[in-house]
Structure 1
């Protein structure tokens, strides 16, 4: 009787208890199970030249001061494993902001962002302001193309310029890193003009939580993609790729040959010229500003596994294990052989 009940649970699509995953019917995994064809997801990534042009030491010093030296020194991003990103999207649950794997939950944290990319996470919340409200028509055109900014890097600097010239060049690098890697939008080639405001004051720039903004943008894009609301996925997918390699070692490739002005009206790039984003997200900003009072210190850190039998029993009731029907050959594509895999977790 016990084995029959266990087998039923293993073959059940979707959660037995829907109180947690209440968006399951809208999730892409439900379409996979039902055999509904979905559009291919396009993963955006930066293909710029900033790692192929020489950088002046004084420019690099400014970039370090602004807080972007760590991500710059990570080097040119490699090609994204498209299939890996798709699998992670299918396992991402917007209700909990975690990946639901057969062995339990996992997610990317601020610590991961800081360690992998060297970005500041304990800083001021990133909210946009321009100081004026442009016309809606003008706002839609207030973007830079990455190619236009990249072309500026081809102009070599000497050692005799005034300091502001090196600061200007550092801003170009930071804009490309921000709009091309950290907060990459779905267009893949356009960087909103209002990002420039964050780089006008070098000291102020270093006070922002760039890691927090990067993670929030990635979460948002994963949620949108998991609910099939977009097929062009932006955000820091390169960082997600690195996180997967770091946290799931068995998929990691082997290396061969080692070698403030808060009173301004806030603005976004989508034409909502009357929206004050500081007021709109006031509650979230207050939570972030109060983050130091919300650190759980009652429990000592332990290296022992936290996926207890009690937790796993609860987890399997509220999640789904299979994404495709066992024994059924799925449509051609990434899921082609997934349906033939057995459930190997006790």
Structure 2
């Protein structure tokens, strides 16, 4: 009986290992070994450079958008974001780092942006033609805007939606598309992505003494102070060398951060670790909480094979203006409402180091290293690594100063 159980366990592990990474898709990580040829993505970013009208803020507070409305433009480092994209796996919606799988979670959205991640999915008609369905009207007279017809009940109703999961779904979609070597730009909430990386991998930048503010991404939008930007190969190298030991699984548990995060940001914490689709009208992405249990302070077991959405992944609104996506995606909407019953089995960990079985599985079927034999984490020579960085910076500076560049 025991041997049969062990045999079934290894058969299950074999299935999980076989389906972790697909070899039939084109992925930008395949070019990572060529350090002289790399891609820097452009950003499709729309930022708010000025504060909203003070008369509008009470309504934003009613809709629970007051915190995110404080976030302004950020000093985005597209070389860093491009290096992160090289680590993103569309099959699992996780980054593959030397330390294991990790991702941007609903917890990150809640504390980094201050948005609700619980509630109804953001779906329905993608285009509203009925004026009565609008929420806000404004009329401008003599260059002075007077707000009229602002029904408070509409803003209170807005807080019943999971805007945080909708933003995360869009970010997942953009990351998946950006892994295509032919992709030139990336959109989504890039402030969230960069802030997530800096909180969990502080070795990626020389962070000056910045105060912790809420929402946490404000730390980089007021006075960036994250040092000079490096190029993609240097960010690759830093991740290769330092992520195994330097990745911070639970950065928000530090006292200096818990002191600034209000209790209201933690009310949905019971929904953070689950397996569920996240929805934003036509966009459906799978959220795999069971693959990143260490981010929630739990023991990481070998997870189930990732869920594949098939033709429903990557749908666009083109030609579907009057389509009710809530009806079209009814099965995913039902799974979202059932998310509290889809929480994986968890065991709180006293030590976040992975088991030997997990390491063997992940290193054999994941992609923890991109640089192969040139992996600097295997060299163990910090002086040699520092020398390589200086040489690389000299080459970059020389190329930028070259009149033919």
TM-score interval w.r.t. the shorter chain?
0.5 to 0.7
1:99–1:105 Cα contact (<8 Å) kept: yes
Q: SS of the counterpart of 1:100?
A: strand
Indicate the residue corresponding to 1:139 in structure 2.
Answer: none
Find the aligned partners of 1:217 and 1:132 in 2 and give their Cα distance.
20
2:363 is the alignment partner of 1:291: no
2:187 is the alignment partner of 1:234: yes
2:160 is the alignment partner of 1:207: yes
Find the aligned partners of 2:74 and 2:127 in 1 and give their Cα distance.
38
TM-score, normalisation: structure 2: 0.55
2:389 is the alignment partner of 1:341: no
2:363 is the alignment partner of 1:316: yes
1:221–1:235 Cα contact (<8 Å) kept: yes
2:100–2:368 Cα contact (<8 Å) kept: no
| Count of aligned residue pairs for this structure pair | 254
How far the C-alpha of 1:109 sits from its partner, in A, is 0.6
Find the aligned partners of 2:338 and 2:61 in 1 and give their Cα distance.
27
Find the aligned partners of 2:42 and 2:19 in 1 and give their Cα distance.
31
RMSD: 3.5
Indicate the residue corresponding to 1:45 in structure 2.
Answer: 45
2:39–2:82 Cα contact (<8 Å) kept: no
Find the aligned partners of 1:107 and 1:85 in 2 and give their Cα distance.
14
Which stretch shows the higher mean deviation, 79-88 or 306-315?
306-315
1:133–1:273 Cα contact (<8 Å) kept: no
1:45–1:238 Cα contact (<8 Å) kept: no
How far the C-alpha of 1:129 sits from its partner, in A, is 1.5
Indicate the residue corresponding to 1:246 in structure 2.
Answer: 199
Unmatched tracts of structure 2, length 5 or more: 1-16, 131-139, 212-222, 224-280, 283-315, 381-405
Change (3 A) 1:21 1:36: farther
Change (3 A) 1:109 1:201: same
Query: What whole-Å deviation, never above 9, does each CA across 1:76-114 have from its counterpart, x for those lacking one?
Result: 232111111011100000111110001211111101100
2:121 is the alignment partner of 1:125: yes
Greater RCO, CA 8 A, separation 6+: 1
How far the C-alpha of 1:202 sits from its partner, in A, is 1.2
For residues 166-185 of structure 1, the aligned pairs below 5 Å read 167=150
Change (3 A) 1:294 1:256: closer
For residues 74-113 of structure 1, the aligned pairs below 5 Å read 75-113=71-109
Indicate the residue corresponding to 2:26 in structure 1.
Answer: 26
Indicate the residue corresponding to 2:319 in structure 1.
Answer: 271
2:126–2:321 Cα contact (<8 Å) kept: no
TM-score, normalisation: structure 1: 0.63
Change (3 A) 1:324 1:232: same
Change (3 A) 1:35 1:302: closer
Change (3 A) 1:208 1:33: same
Find the aligned partners of 1:229 and 1:282 in 2 and give their Cα distance.
33
Which stretch shows the higher mean deviation, 30-39 or 223-232?
30-39
Q: SS of the counterpart of 1:26?
A: coil
Change (3 A) 1:218 1:257: closer
Q: SS of the counterpart of 1:99?
A: strand
1:44–1:237 Cα contact (<8 Å) kept: no
Q: SS of the counterpart of 2:86?
A: helix
Query: What whole-Å deviation, never above 9, does each CA across 1:213-240 have from its counterpart, x for those lacking one?
Result: 0000000110111133632211111100
Find the aligned partners of 1:131 and 1:233 in 2 and give their Cα distance.
24
Query: What whole-Å deviation, never above 9, does each CA across 1:102-129 have from its counterpart, x for those lacking one?
Result: 1211111101100111100011000141
2:95–2:103 Cα contact (<8 Å) kept: yes
Find the aligned partners of 2:378 and 2:24 in 1 and give their Cα distance.
21
Query: What whole-Å deviation, never above 9, does each CA across 1:25-83 have from its counterpart, x for those lacking one?
Result: 411112334799676421222343333x6x32x4211101112111122x323211111
Indicate the residue corresponding to 1:305 in structure 2.
Answer: 352
Find the aligned partners of 1:235 and 1:83 in 2 and give their Cα distance.
16
